[in-house]
Amino acid sequence: MSPKYMLDTNMCIFLMKNTPKAVVERFSQHFVGEIVMSAITWAELQRGLGIYQSQADFDKLSAVIKVVPFDDKAGEMFGKMMQAGKFKACFDTLIACHALSLGLTIVTNNVDDFEGFGLVIEDWTK
């Protein structure tokens, strides 16, 4: 199954907490492989282990959502965005460039953080 969606970190946290219901329901409508997370998101989640979420919840999520490596194509996209001078260097910019380089829809409830990249954005909390 080819990936269609890349989850932002907040969506992964919602899934680990099994709330809000709207996010869990949208997630359950997809097949394994259609939804991925960036290695950048994986790293952000590592930072919160034991503080905001448990290792067990993280392991369950990781079992069903593939982690996609941040590759040279994503790096090139990030470089172009930084050279354009319109975006700040942060995790969301890296995740946006990663999704853009793969042609994936980004799923987030922080829509404002991902506007202006030319991405298709979906907010599954609504």
Tens-place pLDDT, residues 29-80: 999 999 999 999 999 999 988 777 899 999 999 999 999 999 999 999 999 9
Q: Which domains does the chain possess?
A: 5-122 (3.40.50.1010)
Strand pairing class (66-68; 35-38): parallel
Tens-place pLDDT, residues 91-117: 999 999 999 999 999 999 999 999 999
Dihedral sign, Cα of residue 97, residue 99, residue 103, residue 105 = negative
User: Helix, strand, or coil here: 120?
Assistant: coil
Whether residue 21 is predicted with pLDDT greater than 90 in this model: the reply is yes
- How many whole angstroms separate alpha carbon 25 and alpha carbon 118? 27
Answering whether pTM is above 0.75, one says yes
- How many whole angstroms separate alpha carbon 83 and alpha carbon 24? 37
Q: Cβ atoms within 10 A of the Cβ of 69, count?
A: 10
